[in-house]
Amino acid sequence: MPIKRADKTPMPVREAQMRARDFLEVNEGYTKSHASFEAERCLRCQDPVCVGGCPVNVPIPDFIHAVAMGDMAGAARILRSANPLPAICGRVCPQESQCEADCSMTTRFTPVAIGHLERFVADWERTQPPAAGASLTRKEKIAVIGAGPSGLVCAGALARLGYPVTIYEALHAAGGVLRYGIPEFRLPKEVLDWEIGLLKTMGVEIVCNVIIGKTLTLDELFGKMGYAAVFIGTGAGLPQFLGIPGENLNGVMSANEFLTRINLMGAYDREKSDTPVRVGKRVAVIGAGNTAMDAVRTSLRMGAEKAMVVYRRSDKEMSARVEEYHHAQEEGVDFNWLTNPLEVVGNAEGWATGLKCQKMKLGEPDASGRARPIPIPGSEFVIPADNVILAIGTTPNPLLTRTTSGLLTNPKGCLVADEKTGLTSKPLVFAGGDAVTGAATVILAAGAGKRAAQAIHEALVERSREPVLAG
Amino acid sequence: MARIIETRRLTPVTKYFRIEAPLIASSARPGQFVMLRVREGGERIPITIADYDRQLGTITIVVQEVGATTRMVCALGTGDDILDVAGPLGGHIDIAPGGHVCGVGGGFGSAALLCLMREFTARGDRTTAILGARNKELLILADELRPLCTHLEICTDDGSAGFRGFVTQRLAQLIEGGAERRPDSVVAIGPMAMMRAIAETTRASKVKTLVSMDPLMVDGTGMCGGCRVTVAGKAKFACVDGPCFDAHEVDFDVAMRRNKAYVQEEKQALDRVACLERRESR
Ligand SMILES: Cc1cc2nc3c(=O)[nH]c(=O)nc-3n(C[C@H](O)[C@H](O)[C@H](O)COP(=O)(O)OP(=O)(O)OC[C@H]3O[C@@H](n4cnc5c(N)ncnc54)[C@H](O)[C@@H]3O)c2cc1C
Ligand SMILES: Cc1cc2nc3c(=O)[nH]c(=O)nc-3n(C[C@H](O)[C@H](O)[C@H](O)COP(=O)(O)OP(=O)(O)OC[C@H]3O[C@@H](n4cnc5c(N)ncnc54)[C@H](O)[C@@H]3O)c2cc1C
Ligand code: SF4
Ligand code: SF4
Ligand code: FES
């Protein structure tokens, strides 16, 4: 198939029928020739809008130019200078609303495939021997709470600055949402494990099974444990429920529960894993974000015959990455737009049998600027379903804030932190990622972790300069 | 990783473990639990912290074999390691000091009374522990509990030890027994059916009653919502909002039904473990 330079070089994907039944990665990645062809499309704009669209301002034309020149090591170095998790972001960033949104190529053609190229470079990097570990040059110990992207990135940046860093993670494995939420077919665990391995070679210590706020309090990290500064990257993992009748029937669960049973606990492989998950013939997933797409596509892979998305707004208001939506369509997911769930109906044994819904129509824009869905009277109907999975959002986990005094949160339970530095209401306590913003994206979390590392460094350098008062 | 430093069979299906877990021991309070995992690919299961010794840095747990994972735990012995132990999780039992607290334990739930009785007696409360079992052989920890509370009551269904009858009958007698014996608050820890019966026993007299709910849990940190129980008509997460709730507000029907969600899969897992054990012993 001849590819016109005007169009984005398509990502090679595995055939939909086949991939929808296993957990292997959907996107196969560019070959070298795909990558150099695509890299040549970049106009190397004087004033690149793409860079402004990226939350961490990756020097996009520079790394793409290096790819075009065949300088992979250079490309990797440029990429990493701005984005510590390129292999992950290349795969999961919502490029269509960030770096690729206003690419100059879009005025006439399709944007440069920045994400695909980023992934290509980072995957190449993984085939190379890892860079030498960092050396400890600072004596102040730093504690990082939570091993999600924000915590991992913050720890890595601090280690590079010479600090001894310990990450405390509540679960038995590091990665946060990248481990328990985003499925293997979108983000292979091998990619995550490589990043975590890199941190370990830099001397970062990861201690699992420690819940800060329970096992140790935040104040004890300073006192008893002797840390000089703390970064909080505890995410927004608490799932929301709708509060509709029938929500406690068996077979109804949050997307977090469904995905955790499968991704973290390995329920897709009953030979190796003791954790069960029961997936019926028909699965209805409520919501239309990345989490909903992951849940609905996972249910297909777990053997569901019919996997459905139910969303009260239309496809225009959907927040999922476009690529995931297209992949879900190809895999045969059914989309019920403008459909508002009213009640989960069940049988005498207490198992869900269906989702009672109501048709909606779009009205005037609401406070969020999105068209307000209005119920159509008399349009109630039941979608038969053995499982109902809720993917309607998450909020910050209160475990830490409930047991820490002086740590301010906003009414939504998010930590109050300075936008630039991540400094919270407590001295030498910094925070970033979903714990501060509410559920957002990997790159925003990573960016916040990186900025906080710099701010922690500056605060500690500042403190070491302060004269010690005699007396 | 946590090292097991002492084990003891309490009944044919329950085992006592003391494990090295200094951080958990230093912050544990009565009513909290740990999540543990025994092998790669293993399930995370919640187990109540029965007791702790802050000086020695150890915690005590009592595990009853009901399925695959609890069976694997009970196969461990002194010197073995438990792969993952995380905690203390959940809220602690919060009762204003100075009253008469009655702890009711059934099955492995009796174990949780150890630290509860010790701490409440130590702060000056009057404490009564009621232990229940089908017969004398299945009764656990009576000797350990006796010195920890003001008053120990034993109930067996067949009368082979102590009071003949259910813990609920004995509790009802105490409540009706006048100011001297009537507890100001009751904490019931044990099988769901027992906790439900206790809730009914104290409902009319309005004695403040807490029950320690044990729904199925996955993470134990508030991330999955699988542990939700209906309390006063609202969904609560047992691992962060509980596990102890006001007994008179808990919807036991929903809770009992939800605990049966995976019966089929659990049975398959148990068969698999039993099969593995047979193969190893050959
Ligand atoms: C299913 C799903 C799909 C997604 N898809 C995308 C996508 O395609 N693209 C994208 O950009 N974003 C996506 N997101 C969002 C993205 O994953 C998050 O924004 C990001 O992971 C947030 O990172 P974080 O470091 O703030 O927190 P998290 O990733 O949530 O990690 C927090 C970590 O802290 C631990 N923790 C919490 N409390 C404590 C405590 N008290 N003590 C110790 N440890 C603690 C948790 O166990 C967890 O490991 C998705 C989210 C989900 C749920
Ligand atoms: C907060 C909390 C504290 C607990 N404390 C203890 C404890 O101190 N000692 C102890 O032995 N057990 C305790 N449990 C129960 C324990 O977690 C379960 O017995 C265990 O998860 C069963 O795992 P399994 O794989 O062995 O059995 P499974 O195969 O998972 O289950 C076998 C059968 O056991 C029953 N069962 C499963 N889970 C539970 C549960 N959560 N509660 C009651 N019955 C269940 C069901 O009937 C099920 O069909 C506690 C549970 C909770 C939520
Ligand atoms: S980090 Fe994300 S937004 Fe930035 S360039 Fe890479 S893919 Fe685009
Ligand atoms: S805007 Fe598009 S064409 Fe211009 S430098 Fe960025 S990627 Fe290249
Ligand atoms: S066990 Fe997952 S939220 Fe409680």
A237·B37 Cβ contact <8 A: no
pLDDT the model gives residue A467 = 67
Mean pLDDT for the stretch of residues B91-118: 93
Identify whether the C-beta of residue B167 lies closer than 8 Å to the C-beta of residue B130. Answer: yes
pLDDT the model gives residue B144 = 93
- The one-character DSSP state at B247 is G
- Residue among A153, A86, A92 nearest A125 (CA): A86
Mean pLDDT for the stretch of residues A314-325: 92
- H helix intervals, A287-389: 290-301, 322-330
Q: Whose CA is nearest to atom 45 of ligand 1?
A: A146
Q: What is the best residue among A51, A112, A116, A118 to mutate for testing ligand 4's pocket, by most ligand atoms within 8 Å of CB?
A: A112
Distance of alpha carbon A189 from alpha carbon A167, whole angstroms: 19
Residue A1 banded pLDDT, cuts 50, 70, 90: very low
Among A218, A240, A270, A275, which would you mutate to test the B interface (most chain B Cβ atoms within 10 Å of its Cβ)? A275
Chain B nearest-CA residue for A394? B223
In this complex, is the C-beta atom of A239 within 8 Å of any C-beta atom belonging to chain B?
yes
DSSP of B22-89: HHHHHH--TT-EEEEE-STTPPPEEEE--EEETTTTEEEEEEE--SHHHHHHHT--TT-EESEEEEEE
Distance of alpha carbon B241 from alpha carbon B246, whole angstroms: 12
Residue B277 reports pLDDT greater than 80: no
Residue A3 reports pLDDT greater than 60: no
Distance of alpha carbon B116 from alpha carbon B104, whole angstroms: 11
pLDDT in tens, A102-136: 899 988 889 999 999 999 999 999 999 877 777 88
Residue A465 banded pLDDT, cuts 50, 70, 90: confident
The set of protein residues with a Cβ atom below 6 angstroms from ligand 2 is B 33, 43, 45-48, 61-64, 66-70, 108, 214-217, 243, 259, 263, 266, 269-270
Identify whether the C-beta of residue B68 lies closer than 8 Å to the C-beta of residue B41. Answer: no
Residue A4 banded pLDDT, cuts 50, 70, 90: low
Chain Cα centroid distance, residue A198: 19
Distance of alpha carbon A147 from alpha carbon A118, whole angstroms: 23
Distance of alpha carbon A337 from alpha carbon A313, whole angstroms: 6
Shortest distance, CA B91 to any CA of chain A (angstroms): 9
- Residue among B212, B106, B102, B210 nearest B157 (CA): B106
Chain Cα centroid distance, residue B193: 14
Give the predicted TM-score (pTM) of the model: 0.93
Chain A nearest-CA residue for B237? A238
In this complex, is the C-beta atom of A350 within 8 Å of any C-beta atom belonging to chain B?
yes
In this complex, is the C-beta atom of A275 within 8 Å of any C-beta atom belonging to chain B?
yes
Mean pLDDT for the stretch of residues B107-129: 93
How much distance in Å is there from the Cα of A114 to the middle of ligand 4? 9
Alpha-carbon distance values, A314 to A142, A311, A371 (Å): 46, 7, 9
Q: To 10 degrees, what angle do helices A149-160 and A189-201 make?
A: 30
- H helix intervals, A93-210: 114-125, 149-160, 177-180, 189-201
pLDDT the model gives residue A276 = 87
SS3 (DSSP) at B217: coil
A247·B230 Cβ contact <8 A: no
pLDDT in tens, B32-58: 999 999 999 999 999 999 999 999 999
Q: Which two tokens stand for residue B40?
A: 């790669």
> For the ranges A46-60, A357-371, A439-453, which has the lowest average pLDDT?
A357-371
Please identify which residue in the block is written with the tokens 């009901």. B66
Residue A471 reports pLDDT greater than 60: no
pLDDT in tens, A363-421: 888 887 888 889 999 999 999 999 999 999 999 999 999 989 999 999 999 999 999 99
Average pLDDT, chain B: 92
Mean pLDDT for the stretch of residues B215-241: 94
Out of A210, A250, A257, closest to residue B258 by CB: A250
pLDDT the model gives residue B118 = 95
Residue A49 reports pLDDT greater than 60: yes
- The one-character DSSP state at A161 is T
Q: CA torsion, points B242, B243, B246, B247, in degrees to nearest 10? A: 150
Mean pLDDT for the stretch of residues A13-34: 93
Identify whether the C-beta of residue A325 lies closer than 8 Å to the C-beta of residue A318. Answer: yes
Closest-lying ligand to the alpha carbon of B223?
5
Identify whether the C-beta of residue B87 lies closer than 8 Å to the C-beta of residue B35. Answer: yes
How much distance in Å is there from the Cα of A149 to the middle of ligand 3? 14
Alpha-carbon distance values, A393 to A105, A262, A463 (Å): 34, 19, 40
Query: Which domains are present in chain B?
Result: 2-89 (2.40.30.10), 100-212 (3.40.50.80)
